[in-house]
A and B are shown apart, each in its own frame.
Chain A
Amino acid sequence: MNVKLKLALASLKHNTARTFYLTVLISVICFSVFVGETVTSGLCGGMESLKKRLGADIIVIPSGKNRQQNFEGILLGGKPGFFYMPNSVLAEISRIDGVEMVTAQFYLASLTADCCSTELQIMGFDPDSDFIVMPWLTKSYAKKLQPGEVIAGSDVFVPKTGIIKIYNQDIKVVGSMDKTGTGLDFTVFGNTDTVKLMLRSAQKLGVSATDADPDRVVSSVMIKVRDGFDKSDIVNTINRTVAGVQAFENRDMVISFTSRLNHMTLMIKSLVAFICVLAMIMVIFVFSVMLNERKNEFGVLKIMGFTVRSLLAVVFCELVFICAAGSLTGVVMAAVWSLSFKSFLESELGVPFLFDGYESFLLHAGVTAAAGTVLSLLLLLPFVLKVLSVPTDAVMRE
């Protein structure tokens, strides 16, 4: 083995405490950077996914206290809910000038069953008029959904039989959606006939919270506005002329979530920056103290015939080992931690959160580890050069 490498390894082994503390400090930096990056990219991914899924310009739901929060809970937070309004509003809305397309949706919440199931959101849409759900649902199931058939969100537990029982009705799951990071991951999608069938069954069982006739109600109306018309004018017209409903623009909902998302990412980035700066200061401090202590050692090695260049090679080898070990440890710990906190982050943050795929996750991990190693080396090398450039006689006189 090369003498310089041998010397570097011997130095690392002999000074275990120094090696350990420097490695820990560098892993703290890489850990916080990687965790921060994973969380912020998950938040951005969730928001992008939400924007793709919101196809309507205007949403109309029944008026009432906290109704909009209920709707956002269904769509974004995976909190099952339902509300109904007379289906006559559909005809009233379609008569308004500027409304290009209009479709109704029907919501129902299932009860919690036994093992491995939670409440499910059931969303019914009209395949003849729908322009919201069908475009992205057809990626999972190209055929037309029949009554009694549903497509399940990515987080819906589907037994091996492919049949889920909701309100005593056997419902066949014909496909599963890709993950969206929104409440739609906990939703099953069927046509309105399927959902009405379930509501009737719930009413027969006496467990339904509503006694409304399923053929005479809808939960929400989605509107696409004709080009050249002002969306806010149409919202105002609906709110003024159609009784018992409230209309709002999709954009308002996205803006509210974007603002919350921006606050969250800013907080996370600030925290990561604070931890990194603190750890960097500690690394520089520990390393410069350590180098000063080794001035005599370097002086003796110089007397024995080591040139500045060969000493630089020895310290460089030591630094490469420390920085690579620290970066790898930090990234591996961050990856394990992020994966085990994935479910916690997805369900507790209260905003759409879409975790990166494993390929992208591994790529990020590799890039962070490599960047951590290179940046730590660049940060510490100037101090090494400064100490090694001190003349031997000056060191020996000290």
Chain B
Amino acid sequence: MLKIKIADIAIAAIEGVLVAGLFSFWSPCPVGEHIMGCHWVSNVTVALSSAVILLSLLKLLSGEVLFRRGINSAVLLISLIQAFVPGWLIAICAHEHMRCHVYSQPAVVTVAGIVALITIGELVLDRKPAAV
């Protein structure tokens, strides 16, 4: 149970770093005269990350296996969608060497991948009902 809680806190922390990064060191291209696609990618990613953080914190409140499995399934789905937001679901800048290609997209894909992996691990391992 402690391992699961550590995993939940880790997910929330990693997504927190992504949100902070998208506003600072992993920020997409600056908004000028035109608002580019990467700006909307960043906004959508922040929204999805916030949802994952909330769900992970909510999971800490309950020891119920089915509740945890439900939330884990949701987190897995959200993180998979998140990985495909930059460049697939929403187009980013055309130039391959702009900030959104070099920093934002890899950061989002890496964080979403790590969260998905941790969640798959939780789904596989967290099968026994919690001790009452």
Mark A residues whose CB is within 8 Å of B.
16-17, 20, 24, 78, 114-118, 155, 157, 186, 333, 336-337, 340-344, 346-348
Contact = CB atoms under 8 A, between A and B. Distances in A.
Contacts of A343: 96-97, 101-102, 105-106
A116 B93 contact: yes
B40 interface: no
29 contacts: A16-B124, A20-B125, A24-B121, A114-B33, A115-B32, A115-B34, A115-B93, A116-B36, A116-B93, A116-B95, A116-B98, A117-B95, A155-B95, A155-B96, A155-B97, A157-B94, A186-B97, A337-B106, A337-B110, A340-B105, A340-B106, A341-B106, A342-B96, A343-B96, A343-B101, A344-B101, A344-B106, A346-B96, A347-B97
Interface in B97-119: 97-98, 101-103, 105-106, 109-110, 113
B94 A116 contact: yes
Question: Which 4 A-B pairs rank lowest in CB-CB distance, beginning with the nearest?
Answer: A343-B101, A340-B109, A115-B34, A20-B124
A338 to B, nearest CB: 10
The prevalent SS among residues of A at the interface is helix
B80 to A, nearest CB: 11
Given A116-B94, A337-B110, A347-B97, 10 more contacts: A16-B124, A115-B34, A115-B36, A117-B95, A155-B96, A157-B94, A186-B97, A343-B101, A344-B102, A347-B102
Contacts of B105: 340, 343
A307 B48 CA distance: 54
Contact of B98 (A16, A118, A346): A118
Contacts of B103: 344
A17 B127 CA distance: 10
Interface in B14-49: 32-34, 36
A17 B124 contact: yes
Nearest to A154: B96
Contact of A115 (B33, B96, B106, B110): B33
A342 B97 CA distance: 10
Given A16-B125, A20-B121, A115-B34, A346 B97 contact: yes
A17 B125 contact: yes
A342 B106 CA distance: 9
A53 B20 CA distance: 42
B63 to A, nearest CB: 19
Contacts of B124: 16-17, 20
A186 B102 CA distance: 15
Nearest to A343: B101
Given A17-B125, A343-B102, A78 B33 contact: no
A78 B125 CA distance: 48
Contact of B95 (A157, A333, A342): A157
A340 B124 CA distance: 27
A159 B82 CA distance: 29
Interface in B78-102: 83, 93-98, 101-102
A297 B36 CA distance: 62
A192 B83 CA distance: 46
A266 B79 CA distance: 35
B109 A118 contact: no
A117 B124 CA distance: 46
Contacts of A16: 124-125, 127
A20 B124 CA distance: 7
